Amino acid sequence: MKFHLYADDTQPYLSYGDCSPVSKSAAIAKMEACINQIKSWMLLNMLKVNDRKTDFLQFLPKPHDNAPSISTISIGSDSITPGLSTKNLEVVLDNDLSLSEHIAATGKAANFQLYRLSCIQHYLSIMPNKCLYVCVYGK
């Protein structure tokens, strides 16, 4: 079991390489035990796990017709189903690792910022407007 630790986030991860049902069930058991240990440690140290933010992705090999997928992971009395995407350090990862959702979210945020700049454009003199145009469009 490997993991990444951040200030307010813990990300355990593992792979079940041969994609057999036996290695899949062993991986599920290992992940459930790890997450329950993290939860117990946090409760012991008066910290709380935000169950609404607990999610997991699984990355299957292409083609994944015969690869066994994980339907749920049990954490205490809760069951978590795999998501299609999740945010990791402000990058939206999807289960195909195509980054299409991240690109769409970044484009949407950029368009919103351009809209906000257009709202204040008439308050700026010509020089900042010209500079802004060059910075955004590169012309």
Q: Is the pLDDT of residue 138 over 60?
A: no
Whether 89 maps to a domain, the answer reads no
Whether 94 maps to a domain, the answer reads no
Indicate if 18 and 78 belong to the same structural domain: yes
Whether 53 maps to a domain, the answer reads yes
Indicate if 52 and 116 belong to the same structural domain: no
Q: Is the pLDDT of residue 108 over 80?
A: yes
Indicate if 61 and 12 belong to the same structural domain: yes
Whether 75 maps to a domain, the answer reads yes
Whether 90 maps to a domain, the answer reads no
Whether 92 maps to a domain, the answer reads no
Indicate if 80 and 105 belong to the same structural domain: no
Dihedral Cα 89, 93, 95, 98, nearest 10 deg:
-150
Indicate if 7 and 71 belong to the same structural domain: yes
62 — phi, psi (to 5°)? -95, 135
- Average pLDDT (9-18) is 72
Cα-atom radius of gyration of the chain, to the nearest Å? 22
Indicate if 115 and 47 belong to the same structural domain: no
User: What are the start-end ranges of the H helices in 3-70?
Assistant: 21-44
- Average pLDDT (126-134) is 63
Report the distance separating Cα 33 and Cα 5, nearest Å. Answer: 17
120 lies in which domain range? 99-139
Indicate if 65 and 112 belong to the same structural domain: no
Determine contact, residues 81/71, Cβ cutoff 8 Å: yes
Q: What is the mean pLDDT of the chain?
A: 77
**Nearest to 115, CA basis, from 107, 104, 126, 103:** 107
Report the number of distinct structural domains present in the chain: 2
Indicate if 54 and 103 belong to the same structural domain: no
Whether 22 maps to a domain, the answer reads yes
